[in-house]
A = this chain, B = another copy of it.
Amino acid sequence: MPIKLGPNAYGKNAVNLSRIIRHAGHHEFRQVSVSVQLTGDFDAAHTLGDNSLILPTDTQKNTVYALAKEHFTGTIEAFGLVLARHFVSRNAQVSKARIEILEHLWQRMSFEGQAHPHAFTGGGSEKRRAVVELHADGTTTVWAGIKGLMLLKTTDSGFAGYPKDEYTVLPETTDRILATECEAEWEYTAADLNFEELYQQVHLSLLRTFSTHKSLSVQHTLYAIGEKILEETDEVKEISLIMPNKHHIPFNLEPFGQANTNEVFVATDAPFGYITGTVVRG
Give the B-binding residues of A (Cβ under 8 A). Answer: 1-22, 27, 29, 31, 33, 35, 37, 42, 45-59, 61-63, 65-66, 68-69, 90-91, 106, 109, 111, 116, 118-126, 148-156, 159-170, 177, 181, 207-208, 210-211, 215-220, 222-223, 226-227, 230-231, 238, 240, 244-245, 248, 251, 253, 255-258, 260, 262-282
Contact = CB atoms under 8 A, between A and B. Distances in A.
Nearest to A111: B208
24 contacts: A3-B279, A4-B279, A6-B278, A6-B282, A7-B277, A13-B270, A17-B266, A19-B263, A20-B262, A20-B265, A45-B220, A49-B215, A49-B216, A49-B217, A55-B162, A62-B255, A118-B153, A119-B151, A119-B210, A120-B151, A120-B154, A121-B151, A123-B148, A166-B257
A121 B149 contact: yes
Number of copies: 4
A273 B8 contact: no
A167 B219 contact: no
Given A161-B50, A217-B54, A267 B17 contact: yes
Given A123-B149, A273-B12, A69 B263 contact: yes
A272 B11 CA distance: 8
Given A45-B219, A58-B168, 10 more contacts: A3-B226, A4-B279, A10-B273, A10-B276, A18-B177, A42-B219, A52-B162, A109-B211, A121-B149, A124-B125
A214 B156 CA distance: 49
A114 to B, nearest CB: 11
A238 B120 contact: no
A102 B1 CA distance: 31
A216 to B, nearest CB: 3
B269 A269 contact: yes
Nearest to A151: B121
A166 to B, nearest CB: 6
Contacts of A47: 223
Contacts of A163: 52-55, 91
Nearest to A280: B6
